[in-house]
């Protein structure tokens, strides 16, 4: 796909050398009055528009109208495959009531009952909402099946999405989301371990474990992560959301690509993560939805020099939302991140969490995935509450959504 994007007021390249958690105004990442050239789906040139190559052939054009352009958002943590609703649980939580509606198990029951076609239709709808909000790369987990057949079926649904939605999809096997009702935890872990090679054969690129208090222990998570490594999968970890368990330390020990949540991470584990190159995936929508207000981990992680990513954690119970701009907005307002730092975490940081070097940055040799914001300055994305943030989404040099709707 060929495209010339011109009349860019501010091009946020995300090419600066600092980590996504670094303090600074990100000035090295900004090119004023810029243009971007995409040929065959890849960026071949970007810079000040006045320096456009003289020998450039005639290309389809997108006029940014003086708006901000940045890399397509990289959402490195989602649970997109589910059926049913958890609205009663949500309403009860807001009313201050104790509500034992089953949580994840409620969604498991509804998702098992849905057909593959129904799950695909629901996931496709959510994925298009994400695209219309500027997401061009997305990690998608299983985890609402919790049987061998259902988890593999959900990986097949994820694979089918690739041909239906303009997204670069990273499938993750999360068989160890919770222990199914009536199952012994160690026996179930053994089943998950045995299923990892089959998950890889069904397209999984990653394995993940919910390692936390009342879910899976560090020892159990270590077994599953090792099985993933043996099967050639990348490693991810839900860590320290509920309590400090040492899960972040495990992520460092096993050199996971990411540890996610981290509301209770310690300084020592954060330092170990930084040393091991583990990216911290922040999920501010979850913390806000659960009203735990545990926002202090960001300072701990930044002080340790950990690379930061921001993701939606799109799921039915604690973060029903497909919008990366909203996640960025919350990251700034509740964590106190500078706007450019948050946007960098939502693009380059997400790419680092997925170990991808082809997305998350605007420069020659990267995928032609771009977001044209509906403003001439990126700070407005955070300051203008409730406003539509994205004007156009470009995927591989093709405009795939405009003004919040598919193109």
Q: 33-60, pLDDT tens digit by residue? A: 999 999 999 999 999 999 999 999 999 9
Cα 170 from Cα 181, distance rounded (Å): 29
Confidence of residue 404 (pLDDT cuts 50, 70, 90): low
Strands of 234-239's sheet in order across: 73-75, 135-141, 168-176, 206-211, 234-239, 258-261, 279-282, 308-310
Mean pLDDT of 16-24: 48
Does 1 have pLDDT greater than 60? yes
pTM: 0.96
Q: Residue by residue, what is the 3-state secondary structure of the chain?
A: CCEEEEEEEEEECCCCCCCCCCCCCCHHHEEEEEEEEEECCEEEEEEEHHHCCCCCCCCCEEECCCCEEEECEEECCECCCCCCCCHHHHHHHHCCCCCCCCCHHHHHHHHHHCCHHHHHHHHHHHHHHHHHCCEEEEEEECCCCCCHHHHHHHHHHHHHHCCCCCCEEEEEEEEECCCCCCCCHHHHHHHHHHHHHHHHHCCCCEEEEEECCCCECHHHHHHHHHHHHHCCCEEEEEECCCCCCCHHHHHHHCCCCEEEECCCCCHHHHHHHHHHCCEEEECHHHHHHHCCCCCCHHHHHHHHCCCEEECCCEECCCECCCCHHHHHHHHHHHHCCCHHHHHHHHHHHHHHHCCCCCCCCCCCCCECCEEEECCCCCHHHHHCCCCCCEEEEEECCEEEEECCEEC
**What phi, psi does 122 have (nearest 5°)?**
-65, -45
Residues 6 or more apart whose Cβ sits within 8 Å of residue 114: 83, 84, 122
CATH topology (fold) of 73-353:
TIM Barrel (3.20.20)
Closest CA to 258 of 241, 275, 234: 234
The structural domains of the chain, with segments of one domain joined by +, span: 3-71+361-406, 73-353
Closest CA to 285 of 248, 324, 259: 324
Domains 3-71+361-406 and 73-353 belong to one CATH topology? no
Say how many C-beta atoms besides its own lie within 10 A of residue 357's C-beta.
Answer: 11
Task: Using DSSP bridges, classify how beta strands 405-406 and 398-402 pair: parallel, antiparallel or unpaired.
Answer: antiparallel
Q: Which residues pair with 258 in a beta bridge?
A: 236, 279
- Token readout for 51 is 């320096």
358-372: pLDDT as tens digits: 999 999 999 999 999
Does 256 have pLDDT greater than 90? yes
Cα 125 from Cα 108, distance rounded (Å): 19
Does 22 have pLDDT greater than 80? no
* The pLDDT value given to residue 94: 83
Does 295 have pLDDT greater than 90? no
Answer with the residue of higher pLDDT: 111 or 103: 111
220-247: pLDDT as tens digits: 999 999 999 999 999 999 999 999 999 9
Cα 180 from Cα 81, distance rounded (Å): 17
Does 285 have pLDDT greater than 50? yes
Answer with the residue of higher pLDDT: 119 or 1: 119
**What phi, psi does 71 have (nearest 5°)?**
-60, 155
Q: Which residues pair with 114 in a beta bridge?
A: none
* The pLDDT value given to residue 407: 62
Residues 6 or more apart whose Cβ sits within 8 Å of residue 239: 211, 212, 245, 247, 248, 250, 251, 259, 260, 261, 262, 265
* The pLDDT value given to residue 293: 76
Confidence of residue 23 (pLDDT cuts 50, 70, 90): very low
Does 24 have pLDDT greater than 50? no
Confidence of residue 21 (pLDDT cuts 50, 70, 90): very low
* The pLDDT value given to residue 27: 55
Does 213 have pLDDT greater than 90? yes
Residue 55: Cβ-neighbour burial (10 angstroms; 0-12, 13-18, 19+): exposed
**Of the CATH numbers 3.90.1150.10, 3.40.640.10, 2.30.40.10, 3.40.309.10, which one belongs to the domain with range 3-71+361-406?**
2.30.40.10
Does 308 have pLDDT greater than 50? yes
Q: Provide, rounded to the nearest whole percent, the portion of the chain with pLDDT above 70.
A: 95
In the predicted model, what is the mean pLDDT of the chain? 94
* The pLDDT value given to residue 98: 64
Say how many C-beta atoms besides its own lie within 10 A of residue 181's C-beta.
Answer: 10
Q: Provide, rounded to the nearest whole percent, the portion of the chain with pLDDT above 90.
A: 86
């Amino acid at each position: 796909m060929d495209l010339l994007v011109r009349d860019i007021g501010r091009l946020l390249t995300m090419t600066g050398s600092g980590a996504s958690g670094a303090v600074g105004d990100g000035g090295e990442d900004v090119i004023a009055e810029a243009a971007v050239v995409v040929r065959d789906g890849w960026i071949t040139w970007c810079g000040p528009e006045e320096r456009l190559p003289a020998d450039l052939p005639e290309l389809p054009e997108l006029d940014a109208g003086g708006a901000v352009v940045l890399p397509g958002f990289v959402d490195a943590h989602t649970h997109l495959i589910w059926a049913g609703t958890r609205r009663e649980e949500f309403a009860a939580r807001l009313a201050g009531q104790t509500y034992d509606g089953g949580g994840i198990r409620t969604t498991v029951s509804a998702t098992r009952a849905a057909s593959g076609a129904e799950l695909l239709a629901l996931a496709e709808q959510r994925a298009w909402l994400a695209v219309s909000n500027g997401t061009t790369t997305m990690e998608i987990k299983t985890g609402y099946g919790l049987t061998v057949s259902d988890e593999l079926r959900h990986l097949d649904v994820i694979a089918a999405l690739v041909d239906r939605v303009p997204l670069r999809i990273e499938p993750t096997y999360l068989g160890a989301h919770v222990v199914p009702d009536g199952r012994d935890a160690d026996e179930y872990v053994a089943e998950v371990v045995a299923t990892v090679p089959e998950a890889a054969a069904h397209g999984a690129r990653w394995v993940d474990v919910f390692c936390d208090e009342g879910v899976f222990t560090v020892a159990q998570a270590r077994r599953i992560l090792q099985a993933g490594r043996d099967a050639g999968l990348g490693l991810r970890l839900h860590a320290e959301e509920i309590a400090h368990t040492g899960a972040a330390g495990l992520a460092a020990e096993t050199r996971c690509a990411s540890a996610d949540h981290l509301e209770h991470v310690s300084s020592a584990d954060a330092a170990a993560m930084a040393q091991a190159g583990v990216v911290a995936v922040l999920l501010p929508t979850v913390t806000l939805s659960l009203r735990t207000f545990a926002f202090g981990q960001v300072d701990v992680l930044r002080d340790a020099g950990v690379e930061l990513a921001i993701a939606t954690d799109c799921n039915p119970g604690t973060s029903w939302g497909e919008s990366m701009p909203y996640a960025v907005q919350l990251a700034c307002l509740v964590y106190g991140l500078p706007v450019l730092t948050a946007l960098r975490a939502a693009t380059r940081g997400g790419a680092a969490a997925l170990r991808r070097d082809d997305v998350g940055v605007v420069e020659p040799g990267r995928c032609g995935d771009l977001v044209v914001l509906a403003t001439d300055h990126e700070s407005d994305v955070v300051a203008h509450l409730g406003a539509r943030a994205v004007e156009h989404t470009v995927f591989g040099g093709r405009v795939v959504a405009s003004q919040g709707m598919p193109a």
